[in-house]
Amino acid sequence: MMDEILTNINMAGKLRGTFVTDNAGLVVADQMLAVGDQRLPHVLAAPIVGMLGTLQGNHQMARTVDYDLGDGKVFIRNFDWGVVVMLGSNQVNLPLLNLLLDIALPKIRRMMDTDEFRGKSKKPF
Task: CATH number of the domain at 42, please.
Answer: 3.30.450.30
Q: Choose the weakest-confidence range: 66-70, 88-92, 114-118, 121-125.
A: 121-125
Domain tally for the chain?
Answer: 1
121 domain residue, yes or no: no
Contact 32, 38 (CB under 8 A): yes
Which candidate, 74, 82, 91, places its Cα nearest to that of 13? Answer: 91
The model's pTM is 0.86
Residue 107 lies in a domain: yes
**21 to each of 6, 47, 71, 95, 112, how far by Cα in Å?**
13, 11, 24, 23, 9
Whether residue 120 lies inside any domain: the answer is: no
Task: Compute the average pLDDT of residues 76-103.
Answer: 91
CA angle (41, 17, 44) in 5-degree steps: 20
Is pLDDT at 19 greater than 90 in this prediction? yes
Comparing CA positions, the residue from 51, 58, 6, 7 lying closest to residue 28 is 6
Assign 114 a pLDDT band (cuts: 50, 70, 90): confident
Looking at residue 125, its pLDDT comes to 39
**Residue 94 belongs to domain spanning:** 2-112
Q: Which H or E run includes 74?
A: strand 73-79
